[in-house]
Structure 1
């Protein structure tokens, strides 16, 4: 189990190193997650120890929101000053996400139907 945790941390570190080395505009953990995805696709399965670690992390996922909640409480006056910008951002980004998801879904469905013919 320790090996699986170390593997996740090593992939995150590799992502950070790649992002800083090449100046990519992505968070290092995202690149590390992509590396993990590629590694799992090449392997063809998720190792049992990695599955147990992932299950443990997901079971305690709510604990990861505690620092964000503390940050919100610490900067409540800042959030109160810019509430309408935050609301507008959330609404617009939600609509953009919905439109992008629907467009991708329609494109994939059309492509799937085209390939079946």
Structure 2
């Protein structure tokens, strides 16, 4: 046996870097009804003391609604950027090429948004 195809790759043998598609403005794909569903779920999660007119947007003008949705998109974008950054950090630390579900769970736990019944 010549010893080929055994062991891991040494330094400098990682291959070429691939081109990654740059994704921008995907946050705009999150629709207004989806944003309202998230707000309703958050309201149900926080408890009954926020029920009532806390999320009632029926009486607002369209310009006010646009400002609210822009603000929510901005907050969601910052949250997702932080979680994705931590997820990639966990995945790179494990020397993995694939982001696992547990990487996301650990990243959410690091952001103090613990997912229960997820194994982590």
TM-score (norm 1): 0.34
Higher relative contact order (CA 8 A, sep 6+): 1
